[in-house]
Structure 1
Amino acid sequence: MSETWLSIPAESGFGVRNLPYGVFSPPESSPRVGVRIGDHVLDLAAALGDPVFARPNLNEFMATGQACWRRVRAEVTELLTDEAHRGTVEPALYPLDEVELHLPYAVADYVDFYASEHHASNIGRMFRPDAAPLLPNWKHLPVGYHGRAGTVVVSGTPIVRPNGQRKPPAEDTPSFGPSRRLDIEAEVGFVVGTPSPLGTSVPPTDFARHVFGVCLVNDWSARDIQAWEYVPLGPFLGKSFATSVSPWVVPLDALDAARVPTPVQDPEPLPYLRETDPWGLDLSMTVELNGRPIAHPPFSSMYWSPAQMLAHLTVNGASLRSGDLYASGTVSGPEREQRGSLIELSWNGAEPVELDGGDHRSFLADGDTVTIRATAPGDGCTISFGEVTGTIHPAS
């Protein structure tokens, strides 16, 4: 593949082998679909002349299916690598710092999984010290819960500290007020493009036919609200107040070089979850709190793959819709500096995280800013996912 005629630093992560999709507004214009190239956004409606890209979200384009996604990717690549197109393409390029970025897709449904063995084991050890870290079902299926699609927000949206019921173990009755144990969850999200009919299932082999691309997710969590409410039906208000996603969706075709085997799964999964061509991904993540890196979670360590998550999500006949988002759950590795949540990093508050200036955190304070970044190996390059960021505002 030829390099682009644009001037892009080698370390950019947004070269022609990436081409992630997003939705942006040029100055004094309405939102439309674009592709990031370097520090510019290419207006696809103007460059390709297709009205599907003049929409305020990616859903209509994502619903066209894999063959169309690949055709458009090839066309955009040609526009950006063949000097002959430069004169017509340059007017459709906008500097990134002059546009507004929006939520790239209308979220149809949102499901969050719990696919990291290291994260699940850490939580188990904290809260069930006298029992096995993993519950009996964990290695037989990708555990997950249904979230709230309407509170998925784009990176940069302020996160208001949630109110709710809390009951610490030492207190006899619950109280109401702002969460005192507000946390992060560094996750990877998968955006569905091609729908599936109700009553059918999607096997792991069909993952790439249905999933359009990959984004970053911070599933903010109010641990005190969650701890009191979750028995017996699982997370509810402790999770549903906000979930932040990155503004760029990296297409699966940009991640061929990042594919790796998943960890050995023992016991062997049931037939509907078995993969002949595993979809593990070598993503390197960094979590920053107030500008200081505090963790480096490795997605390659995830026990369940995104293809297995999708297979389990649909095995009961649940249909897929364009714009469905499902996330991996907290990404954590075996080392302390690889833990993707504050509850793990601080071991439930017993070992606070040190920040600059001698400050410490067990959980988030008002005014704190959290940024999650990720990269993956590309074909002779680095693929960047950009970032998902949010700043905590006081409870209303």
Structure 2
Amino acid sequence: MSKNDPTIAADLRSWVETANAADSHFPIQNLPYGVFRPAAGAQPRVGVAIGDQILDLSYLERSGLLRTPAPLFAAASLNPFMARGPETWRSVRAQISSLLAAGTPTLRDDAAARAQALVPQSSATLLLPVEIPGYTDFYSSKEHATNVGALFRDPKNALLPNWLEIPIGYNGRASSVVVSGTPVHRPNGQIKLPGQERPVFSPCLKLDFELETGFFIGVPNGMAEPVACSDAESRIFGMVLLNDWSARDIQAWEYVPLGPFNAKGFATTISPWVVTMDALEPFRTRQPAQDPEPLPYLRHDGSHAFDIHLEVALRPQGRERAVTIARTNFKTMYWTMAQQLAHHTVSGCNTRVGDLMGSGTISGTDAGSYGSLLELTGNGKQPLDLGGTTRAFIEDGDEVTLTGWCQGDGYRVGFGECSGTILPALPTQG
């Protein structure tokens, strides 16, 4: 998409007045997609967030106000729409932008149609937006990898030899990806306590969040059809916030020799609104310099990072207010989304529509920008002061909320929130 595209013009305004507020996450320049129920018992359908409202795309499609190549939006996921590819994505986006623009009377002046087309976000139930066939989590923040390496290895050799050569990743559990607001039970598992010869079976004692983003595959590749780095971004439908909950003590015992398993498989939370790459285009920026120069299949010219401000807030059990504990930016990521997808497929691995790729924990260079409690508390040794209480790791009843936005000239392109509350571990026979 060109930065001159009218759907991302900074001066564009909507007749949905709440979308024009300077701090709204969902102005007309954004138009993120999600799946919702307008009321209890109603069928799921696809919508677009605009201000504090949801535009019901299934109604627009049914009424002939939105032209699509086939029925796409009376659906329980975005997958049918995503599978149509960039030409359809941009046609639909342009039509929605036009219908919501301040000067377009079609919906603006038709009270009956407006009443059908708009649903208050406050009265709707937001659902998992995508049917996710596969989930991969990367490890692409140099600052995070350095911090973790310094905690558990020689700080002078914090990065393993391969880290600067390849985007490190592992295949996670798509089955346990949940939408924001879904409570998460503390996991049980094996833990090796200091000084003990054998592990014990126990609820996790070091439960952590991981501040991440994720992207969804819209245009898949076949087996033995690697995706070129230069082509990778054209296959990405959009991005979400992602919290890859982590059981640090379970992981410490299980991850050698094959990596995380139970420590990561119990839950991953994503935000309900998928922000498209077209909406993010004005916020494209240069990625960090890479040294050594990557191998040829991982090289790409131009700017492939995105200026996305990110925050984490923790609300302790019993407290009314959350405390912001970290602020960072996605643009600091060493490995780009294009490089992640190119590396993922270079061996011949295929992807499918709806596959989710996590960025890995996003951390900055100073303590206030670290994307996990593992880093923020030095593996629990320096608990955070939350104003009358402290946290080394997450306790039962605590709520963690991620948020993020791109700052434009008088408007924001936001992701909304990605929240989860921790419930006690379930009883088990062990």
TM-score interval w.r.t. the shorter chain? over 0.9
Task: Supply the AA of the counterpart residue of 2:76.
Answer: P
Correspondence list, 1:95-114, <5 A: 95-114=120-139
Shift of 1:281: 1.0
Determine whether 1:299 maps to 2:330. yes
Count of residues paired in the alignment: 395
Shift of 1:13: 2.2
Per-residue Cα deviation, 1:193-243 (whole angstroms, up to 9, x for no partner): 111111111112212321100000000000000000000001100000000
Correspondence list, 1:179-218, <5 A: 179-218=204-243
- For 2:87, the equivalent position in structure 1 comes to 67
Q: Residue 17 of structure 2: SS of its match in structure 1? A: coil
Per-residue Cα deviation, 1:334-356 (whole angstroms, up to 9, x for no partner): 00000000000001111111112
Per-residue Cα deviation, 1:121-164 (whole angstroms, up to 9, x for no partner): 00000000365000000000000000000000000000100000
Instruction: Identify if the C-alpha distance between structure 1 residues 208 and 83 changes in structure 2 by more than 3 Å, giving closer, same or farther.
Output: farther
- For 2:166, the equivalent position in structure 1 comes to 141
- For 2:14, the equivalent position in structure 1 comes to 4
Do 1:23 and 1:57's aligned partners in 2 also have CA atoms closer than 8 Å? yes
- For 2:407, the equivalent position in structure 1 comes to 377
Supply the distance in 1 between the matched residues of 2:86 and 2:195 (Cα, whole angstroms). Answer: 54
Task: Supply the AA of the counterpart residue of 1:372.
Answer: L
- For 2:105, the equivalent position in structure 1 comes to 83
- For 1:35, the equivalent position in structure 2 comes to 48
Correspondence list, 1:209-358, <5 A: 209-290=234-315, 291-357=322-388
Supply the distance in 2 between the matched residues of 1:90 and 1:6 (Cα, whole angstroms). Answer: 13
Shift of 1:174: 0.3
Task: Supply the AA of the counterpart residue of 1:361.
Answer: R
Supply the distance in 2 between the matched residues of 1:248 and 1:378 (Cα, whole angstroms). Answer: 19
Supply the distance in 1 between the matched residues of 2:151 and 2:47 (Cα, whole angstroms). Answer: 44
TM-score by length of 1: 0.98
Q: Residue 296 of structure 1: SS of its match in structure 2? A: strand
Greater mean alpha carbon deviation, residues 164-173 or residues 375-384: 375-384
Task: Supply the AA of the counterpart residue of 2:82.
Answer: M
Q: Residue 328 of structure 2: SS of its match in structure 1? A: coil
TM-score by length of 2: 0.90
CA RMSD, 1 decimal: 1.2
Task: Supply the AA of the counterpart residue of 2:369.
Answer: Q
Q: Residue 54 of structure 1: SS of its match in structure 2? A: coil
- For 2:57, the equivalent position in structure 1 comes to 44
Moved over 4 A (4+): none
Do 2:138 and 2:357's aligned partners in 1 also have CA atoms closer than 8 Å? yes
Supply the distance in 1 between the matched residues of 2:334 and 2:196 (Cα, whole angstroms). Answer: 37
Do 2:24 and 2:411's aligned partners in 1 also have CA atoms closer than 8 Å? no
Do 2:137 and 2:358's aligned partners in 1 also have CA atoms closer than 8 Å? yes
Shift of 1:331: 0.3
Supply the distance in 1 between the matched residues of 2:183 and 2:284 (Cα, whole angstroms). Answer: 34
Do 1:155 and 1:247's aligned partners in 2 also have CA atoms closer than 8 Å? yes
- For 2:31, the equivalent position in structure 1 comes to 19
